[in-house]
Structure 1
Amino acid sequence: MSAPITIQSFETLIVDLPTIRPHKLAMHTMHGQTLVILRIRCSDGIVGIGEATTIGGLAYAGESPESIKINIDTWFAPLLIGQDATNLNAAMQRVDRGIRGNTFARSGVETALLDAQGKRLGLPVAEVLGGRVRDGVEVAWTLASGDTGRDIDEAEQMLDRRRHRHFKLKIGAGDVARDIAHVAAIKKALGERASVRVDINQAWSEAVAISASRRLAEAGVELIEQPLSRFDRAGMARLNAHSPIPLMADEAIESVPDSFALAQLGVAPIFALKIAKTGGPRAVLRTAAIAEAAGIGLYGGTMLEGSVGTLASAHAFATLDKLEWHTELFGPLLLTEDILVEAPLYRDFQLMIPTTPGLGLELDEQRLARFARR
Structure 2
Amino acid sequence: MSRIRTVEVVPMAFPDPPLLNSWGVHEPLALRTLVVLTLDDGTVGLGETSGEQPLLGRLESAAPRLVGVRVDDPAAIEAAAVAGLRSDVSPVERRKVVAPFEVATLDALGRLEGVPVSDLLGGRVRDRVEFAGYLFFKWAGHPGAEPDEWGAAEDAAGLVEVARRMRERYGFGSLKLKAGVYEPAREIAAMRALAAEMPGVPLRIDPNAAWRVETAIEVADALADVVEYLEDPTPGLAGMAAVRAATTLPLATNMVVVSPETLEPAVAAGAVDIVLADPHYWGGLAATRRLGEACRAHGLGLSMHSNSHLGISLAAMVHVAAATPELDHACDTHYPWNAASDIVEPGALAFVDGAVAVPDGPGLGVELRRDVVERLHRAYLESGRTVRDDTAYARTVDPAYDPTLPRF
Regarding TM over 0.5, the answer is yes
More moved, 111-120 vs 32-41: 32-41
CA contact (8 A) 2:134 2:333 kept: no
Opposite residue 215 of structure 1, the aligned amino acid is A
1:82 & 1:155 partners in 2: Cα distance? 48
Alpha-carbon spacing, 1:161–1:48, altered in 2? closer, same or farther (3 Å): closer
Among 221, 224, 227, the residue aligned to 1:221: 227
Letter in 2 for 1:11: E
Change (3 A) 1:37 1:9: same
Matched, 1:12 2:19: no
When residues 262 and 79 of structure 1 are mapped into structure 2, their CA distance, relative to the original with a 3 A threshold, is farther
- Residue 335 of structure 1 corresponds to 339
| 1:88 equivalenced with 2:74 (yes/no) | yes
Q: Equivalents in 2 of 1:71, 1:158: separation in Å?
A: 36
Deviation per CA, 1:24-54: give whole Å up to 9, x if none.
221132233221001112212112110012x
Aligned to 1:140: 132
1:189 matched residue in structure 2: 197
Q: Would you say how many aligned residue pairs link Structure 1 and Structure 2?
A: 355
The one-letter code of the counterpart of 1:104 is: K
**Are positions 1:368 and 2:364 aligned together?**
no
* TM-aligned CA distance change 1:186 to 1:332, over 3 Å: closer
SS at match of 1:140: strand
CA separation in 2, counterparts of 1:6 and 1:323? 33
Alignment match of 2:353 (pick from 348, 353, 359): 348
Residues 217, 245 of structure 1: 8 Å contact kept: yes
Given that 1:22 and 1:32 are in contact with CA atoms closer than 8 Å, whether structure 2 keeps it comes out as: no
Give 1:72's aligned residue. 59
Measured in 1, the distance between the counterparts of 2:341 and 2:202 equals 29
Query: What is the alpha-carbon distance in structure 2 between the residues aligned to residue 130 and residue 118 of structure 1?
Result: 13
Given the two structures, how large is their TM-score scaled by the length of structure 2? Answer: 0.82
* Equivalent in the alignment of 2:107: 115
Give the gaps of 5 or more residues in structure 2: 139-153, 382-408
Cα RMSD (Å): 1.9
1:23 aligns with 2:7: no
Identical counterparts, % of pairs: 27
8 Å CA contact retained: 2:177, 2:205: yes
- Measure, in 2, the Cα distance between the counterparts of 1:14 and 1:147: 35
Q: Does 2:326 correspond to 1:322?
A: yes
Shift of 1:332: 5.1
Residue aligning to 2:292: 288
The whole-number CA distance in structure 1 between the counterparts of 2:156 and 2:243 is 28
CA deviation string 1:245-304 (max 9, x = no partner): 111011112222222332233211111011112111111112221111100001122123
Q: What is the one-letter code of the residue matched to 2:130?
A: E
Q: Specify the SS of the correspondent of 1:268.
A: coil
Unaligned runs of 5+ in 1: 54-63
Pairing partner for 2:41 from 41, 44, 65? 44
Match of 2:212 among 199, 205, 213: 205
SS at match of 1:191: coil
2:146 pairs with 1:154: no
Spell out, residue by residue over 1:293-348, the C-alpha distance to the aligned partner (whole angstroms, 9 max, x if none).
Answer: 10000112212321101111110110111322121234255332211122521112
CA distance in 1, matches of 2:177, 2:71: 42
Asked if 1:178 corresponds to 2:164, the answer is: no
